[in-house]
Amino acid sequence: MNDTAKTAARVMTPVATRTNWRDLPEQVRAAVEEHAGTVHRVDTISSGLNASFTARLHTTTGVTFAKGVPSDRAAAQRREAEINPHVQPFAPHLLWQVDTQGWHILGFEHLDGRAADLSPGSADLAGLADMLSRLAKLATPSNACKRIEDRWADAAQRAEVDTKLLTGDHLLHTDLNPHNVLVTDTGTRIVDWSWPTLGAAWIDTACAAHWLIAEGHTPADAESWASRLAVWTEATPEALKVFTKTNAALWSQIAIAEPRSWKQRLRDAAADWATYRAAARR
């Protein structure tokens, strides 16, 4: 990974304070072991943003990736559990979930992989493009997902745009930061489906392109990368203007609410892309 990649991914830090396995209530640990087997080793994982507990659990049945939050703020994890059957084979399989003694814990198939390198010239970009091409063909789930026009309504209002060009019935991830894009021996996988959203099929490619800009690509180069995907032909110039203006307003608000350096860099990348797209002839 080259130095420009430090603009965002390398400075991402967890929002939640980490809880160790031994600090979980005894009843919670017992409930986890009923599903996962007796735990004989735990590797605490420091990456990830919002979970209070993340670890590899080495048990009598194998290795499981587990993450958890207090039950009173587990809405995102519950969404992830509900959507998991619909996002195969892109996401790791959910094996079990525990909700007891004030903790909500999810146990997933363990993936042996690393965060993707999205910097210019990275070999991981091809795998990301291939995965996004297949992701765009996911079937619309029967369970309720928020729609992009509802999720981004406040940002669109601040940007003074109409989100009708973003609407659709395709299942989207929308949080394609490099730590959610895992490169494994069997291909690129996507983790942390906390915000399953329905919208235009090309939006996940646009969300990835935004991260490419934050990792050192120019807006022109990011769009050139995106144009290799067939789904990108559906992103009309006017739709891209709506997306980039809305995205810039969204990240501006995020960076104001919590001025972490990586969020400020995502804000700057979004603003750069919106400026480029406003001046583009096509």
pLDDT at residue number 253 = 97
- Domain borders along the chain are 11-109, 113-279
Residues 6 or more apart whose CB falls under 8 angstroms from that of 122 comprise: 1, 116
Place of tokens 């995205």: 247
Task: Report how far residue 244's alpha carbon sits from residue 272's, in angstroms, rounded to the nearest whole number.
Answer: 9
pLDDT at residue number 46 = 73
Name the strand (E) or helix (H) holding 56.
Answer: strand 53-59
Task: Report how far residue 66's alpha carbon sits from residue 56's, in angstroms, rounded to the nearest whole number.
Answer: 6
Domain 11-109 sits in CATH 3.30.200.20: yes
> What is the DSSP secondary structure assignment for residue 143, as one 8-state letter?
S
pLDDT at 185 exceeding the cut of 60: yes
Q: What is the mean pLDDT of residues 76-82?
A: 95
Q: How many CB atoms lie within 10 A of CB 232?
A: 21
Q: Model confidence over 243-255: pLDDT tens digits?
A: 999 999 999 999 9
Task: Report how far residue 151's alpha carbon sits from residue 248's, in angstroms, rounded to the nearest whole number.
Answer: 15
Q: Which of 177, 182, 80 is nearest to 131 (CA)?
A: 182
pLDDT at residue number 58 = 97
pLDDT at residue number 4 = 41
Task: Report how far residue 22's alpha carbon sits from residue 17's, in angstroms, rounded to the nearest whole number.
Answer: 15
According to CATH, the topology of domain 113-279 is: Aminoglycoside 3'-phosphotransferase; Chain: A, domain 2 (3.90.1200)
pLDDT at residue number 282 = 74
3-class DSSP assignment, residue 106: strand
For the full predicted model, state whether its pTM sits above 0.85: yes
Task: Report how far residue 270's alpha carbon sits from residue 88's, in angstroms, rounded to the nearest whole number.
Answer: 30
Q: How many CB atoms lie within 10 A of CB 256?
A: 11
User: What length is written for the chain?
Assistant: 282
Task: Report how far residue 76's alpha carbon sits from residue 216's, in angstroms, rounded to the nearest whole number.
Answer: 30
Q: Model confidence over 121-178: pLDDT tens digits?
A: 999 999 999 999 999 999 999 887 999 999 999 999 999 999 999 999 999 999 999 9
Cβ pair 211, 176 in contact under 8 A: yes
Task: Report how far residue 55's alpha carbon sits from residue 46's, in angstroms, rounded to the nearest whole number.
Answer: 8
pLDDT at residue number 3 = 44
